[in-house]
Structure 1
C-alpha cells in the first residue's frame, strides 16, 4: 500500500513540474516573439526620425552652393587670371558667406580642379591652390552640374560631406564650381545621449558616422578589388585603417530587423539591428539596441505562466483532497450508523440479557458510548430516551430522576427551556420547533452558546429504523482561540494602517520642508545677488575717481569683500541645487592632465602670492566622471590647502588603485585633529588656523562631500597635527578609446574698448541700484545708454525709432514679468530683434541652454565687469562685421 502511494505522489509532482516547464517555455517564447517585434517596430520609427534629421541637416546647406554659383563676382573670377588682391577679396567673400551658414568650408574651384579661393584661407592648412580634380564631387559637378561626396579632407585632415554646384559662363559652358564641406559631428554628439548605437555607412559598407568612436571606419562587409581601387583613387578615407566589424545574424524578423551577435565588442552579445536606406545618397543608417528588456519581459511572462500553472495544479489537488475527505467522512458516518443499528439489534434480540437490561433501564448509561469525547443521546421513533453517556450528563447537568429510559425527550427540552438554554423565542414555540425537526428525520449541524460561555457543536442524524442520535461537542476553547486570533489580527492591521499613515505624513512633511528650504535659499540668494551686483558695478567705477594709494587699497578691499560674499552666496545656491536634485551631471571619459593643468593655472599665482609652491603631477590617465564637477572638487581641495598653509609646497598627484584612480592634494599645513576630521565636511564648519584675512566660508568641503555623493566618488582625508593633510577623491578609470575629440576654441582678445565706442545699449532690470551702476559703467566704456530702468518704462519707450544695438536684460523682473517674454514684446514694438544678453541671478542650466540655442549672451549675477565688457565687445563686433 505504501509503494503505490509513493508512486502516485511522484507522478503527481512530475506532472506538475513538467506542465509548469512547458507553460513557461510556451509563454516565454510567445512573449519574446511579440515583444521583440514590437520593440523592432518602435526602433525602426526612431531610426526613421534620425535619418530624417540627417537628411534635413544636409538639405539645409544644399541651396548655398546653388546661390553662390549665380554670383557674378565668382563667375567673373573664373574667367580671367587673378591677382593676389583678387584672391584675398574672394577669400573674404567666401569667409563671410560661410560664417552666415555655420558650415565648415566654402571653396571656389576652376575647371581644372584647382582651388582658387576658400573660406578657411586664414588657416595654415587652407584649401587655396590645392588640386582637387581627383575628388568625385569635382568630377560630378564638371560633368553633370552638381555632386556630392563624403570623405576625409586631404588638406585639413577633417572629415565632412561635400556638396558642389557647377558655375556656367554666358555661353552655358562649365568654367568651375563652388563646393561646401559640411561637418556632421554635431549629429554624433546628439546620438551620445542614448544608450543605443547609431552608425551610418556608405555604399561600400564603411562606417563614417557613429555614436561609438571605436567603430569609426569599420567595415560592415568585405571590400571588393574595385572598391579598394576606387577608395585609393578618391583618397576618401586616406590615412585610416579599414578593419571589419565582426557580427553574426542569428534571426531575421518579419519587418526587416535582425537579431545579431557581436564578436569583438564590449556591448551585450545579442542586439537588435535595424537598417534604413537614406534616399539619393547610397548610405545606410543602422541602429543597434540592447534586447535585455525584451528578454526580461519574456522571463517574467514565463515565470507568471509557471506560477499560474502551479497555482492551478495545487487548486485541483486541494479540491480532490477535499472530495476524498468528504468521502472518508461519509464512510465513517455510515460505519457509525451500522454500529448503532447492530447495537440496537443486539438489545432487541439478546435473550440472555434480560436481567442486565432491567438493571440498565434505571440508569440509561451505555458502555458502548462511554469512549466518545462528545456527549451522545439516542431517542427512538416515539421520541423517548433510549441511551446516553456520562459526557452528556456533564454538559447539561440533568437531575438523576429526569434521565430514565423511555422518558419523552420533550421533558428534557422543557427542562432546558426553563433554564434559558433554548434561546429568546417563546418556550412552547422553541420546544415544538425542535420536536418537529426530530420527527422529520433530517440531519442537522449547528452551534449553540450557553450562558456560561460554553459553545457546543450539535450534530444530529436519523436512525434507519426510526429515532435520532445527537452528539454534543464542546468547542469553546477552539472558538476562544479563533476569536483571540481575529482580535489580534485586527489590532495588528490597525497598527500597520496607523503606522503607514504616520510614515506617509512624516514623508510629506519632510518633502515639503525640503522644498520650502530650497525655495527659501533660492529666493534669498536671488534677492541678495541684486544689491551685490549693483555694488560690484559701482566698485568697478571707483578706480577712475580714486587717485591716492590708500584709496586704491580701500577699493581693492571692497572688491575682495564682495568677491568673498559672492562665493558664499554661490556656494549656498549650489548646495540648494544639489539637495533639490536640480544639478545636472554629465559623465564621460576624459584625460586628467587637462583638468589638472587648468587647476594649476588657476591657483599658481595665488599660491605664489602666499609664499607657497604649487605642483601638479597628472600622468596620462583617462578617468570617467563629470569634468566640471570633478574639477570643482579638486579646486576646493587646493583652495583649502592654500588657505591653511603658511609655508612649504602643495602637491597635486594621482595614485592608482586597481580600476580606480585616487587624486590627492598634499599640503604642509597645521593638520587636523582626528576629532574634527568628520566635522569639517559639515556646512559652516572651519578651523581657526587660516590666514587672518581669508578663513573661508565653511562651505567648500560641504560642497565637496555632496558632489562626491552625487557622482558616486569616495571622498577621504588623512591628516596629522603639525605634519599636514592629504585630501583625496577616488574616481573610476575610463576608456581611452572612448575619448571624444575636442576642438580648441579660438579666442579673440581685444586690448581696448574700441567695439564699445559709440555703441547703443539698453539695460532693463527691476533693481534701480543695478540700473544706475550698470548705466554709468557702460557710459564710462564709451557706450551710449539711452535707457536703464524697469520693464514697464522700457515697454512704454520702445518704438521703431529707438532700437538699440544691444539689449542687457534681467530674467526675473518682479511680479509675473519674465525676461524672455518682455524681450519678445520689445522686439514687436521695435519691429526688429537686436541681440540680447541675459543678466540674471538664476543659475538654471536649462535657461543657459535656451540662451545658447537662440544665440543670446548669458551672464550670472553678480556680474564681473571684465566679463561683461568682453561679451558686449564680442557681440558688437559680430553686428558690425555682419
Structure 2
C-alpha cells in the first residue's frame, strides 16, 4: 500500500490516476506470466490491484453524482435568488405606487422599507428614514421636527410619550396638524408576525371642507336664532361666560327705551346694567347689587326673577337664567296689563271681603269660645303632626342605620332605647293626626265588606306575644261573619281596645269574641284588669286621660280610646263600656252585617313584610326635596348595599340620569315636591322615558283619595314617618320582580 500510495498522486486527475493503474496492472500481469515459481504471491498482488481499481471506480462515480447535485442546487438557488429579487422589486414598485405614505417595521421595531411619500411633509427627517431605523427614534424625530404643529400647551416630550403609548394598541388612527395648515391622518396596523404598518394620508382637503360646512351651519343657525329673537314679544339679552353681551333683539330697546345702537357685542354686563338703571326702578326688594352678585356667582345659579318699573307706569317682569356654558340669558316681558288686572281684581276682592265680613260678624260672635278653641286645636295638631313627621322619618332612619352598625357594642342598648322613644313619638303623632282628622271631619272612610275572621286572626298573632310576655292568657274566638265597615279604621279600633286591655291587665286573661245580634255582630273585648270607676267611665274617652296617672309615657298617652270613640262615631258603630272595680272591663262595638255576595270578594291588607333580601346592585332613584330626609334615606339605602341616586327635584333627576346614561331599577319619591310638582307626576314622567319602573310614594297625607290615585297609577305608598322594614320589603320585592 505504501508503494501504491507513492505511485498514485491524489492531486492527479482521474484520467491520470486511471492511466497509472492500468500500467501497474499490465506490469503485474507480465510479471505473473514470467515468474511462475512465485505465482501465489503474484496472484495475491493481482487481486489487490483489481480491488483497488474497483474502489477507485466507485469513488469516481460518487464524486460525479455529488458534482451533478451541486450543480442542480446552484441552479435552483440562482433561480430562487432571481425570483426573490424580482418579488422585492415588485413589492417596492407596488408600495411606491400607493398614494399614501407607507412604512413597514419588523417585529424588532426596525424600519424594513418605506415609500417616497412616507414623511415627505417633514423635509428635515425624510432623508433619515432608512432601513434599520428604530421606531422609537422615528417618533423622536417626528416629535422634534419643526414641521409638526404641536397641540396648544403640549411639549415635544409629552407628544412623544402619548405617541408611544398609543403605539401599544393593535390599531391606531389619529390626525396630526402639520406646518402650513396641512393635516395628516396616521394609522397603524399590526402584522401577523408582530410587525407594524404605518400609513400617512393627506386629509387637508377633507378638513377644510368640514370646517367650511361647520361654519356654514353656524352661520345658518345664527341667522335663524336672530330671526327668532327679533320675532319674540319679549326682550332678550344673551351674555357669555365672561358676562359679555353676545346677542339681543330689538324688543329690548323698545321695552327699556334704550337706543338700539347702544347695544354692542362684547359690552360687559356692568355697562348694560348702568344703562338700565338710568330709566327704570327696581321692585320686589331687588337691587342692582343683588343682580350683580347673581351674575358674578361662581357656584350654580338658581333662576332669578324680579320686576322693573318704568316712568310711564309700565312694569317689566325680568327673568334671568344660567346656561350650561356658564353664560346667562335675561328676558324682559311687559306685564303692565296683567298687573293692572290684578290690582282691579284685588280691589274688587277687598270690597267683596268687606261686605262679606260685615254680613258674617253676627255669626262669628255667635260661635262659642269652646268651638273656636277646639277647631284651633284640631288644625294645630294636624299641622304640627304633619310637619313633625318629616324630621321624625329622618331621625328614625338615622337611628336605625346606626343601630345596625352598633348592634353588639355598648352603645347598642342606648340606640335601642332611642329607637323605642322615636317609635313612641311616632305612635303619639299618628294618634294626634287621626284625632285631628276625625274632629275636623276630614277623615275619609271607605265602607266595604270586611271578614272578621281574617282581621281577628291578624290581631291575635300581633297581640298574643305581648300578652304572654306579661304572663297573661289571651284568647280570640273568631267568627265567619262579614261586616260593613272601613277595614283600616275597624282594625285600628279593635287594635286599640285589645292593646288597652293588655296594657292595664296585670294578671288573668284577655278574651276577644263576637256575638250575633239582631241585624249585626257585636265584637267584645273582655279583660280581668282593675276595672274603671263609674264616675270615670265617660272621661276615659277624652284625649290624654289615663286612670293610672303614674304610668310611663311609653305605656301610652291616653289617646287610644279617644281615637276609638271618634272612629266609631264617624263610622256609626255603637260603642259600649261595661266595667266593675276589681273584676275587669268589657268594651264592645256593634257592626252591621254585609250582604253575602260581597263577603267572598273582600280581603284585608296585612303588614307582613318580605324576607330581608340583599339589595346589592339595585339602582334606586330617590327624589326628596327635604335635604335631611334625603340624606337619611340615602344613608339607610346605602347601608343595605343599594346604589342610590339622590335628587331634590324631577329636573335634577332627569339631568342626572342623562349624565350617567343609565336607567334606575326602582323610584322612591316624596309626594309633595317643590314648584308644586307631585311625586306621582315625577314617576309618570320618568316612566315615559325609562319604561314601567317599580315606584313608591312616601307621604304624610293619609287620605284615601291619594291611596286610590297611587293604586290607579300602579305605585306603592308609604306613610311618614317611614317604617324601614316596610321600605326594605318593597325594595326586595322590586328586586325579585
TM-score by length of 1: 0.40
TM-score by length of 2: 0.47
Q: Find the structure with the greater CA-based Rg.
A: 2
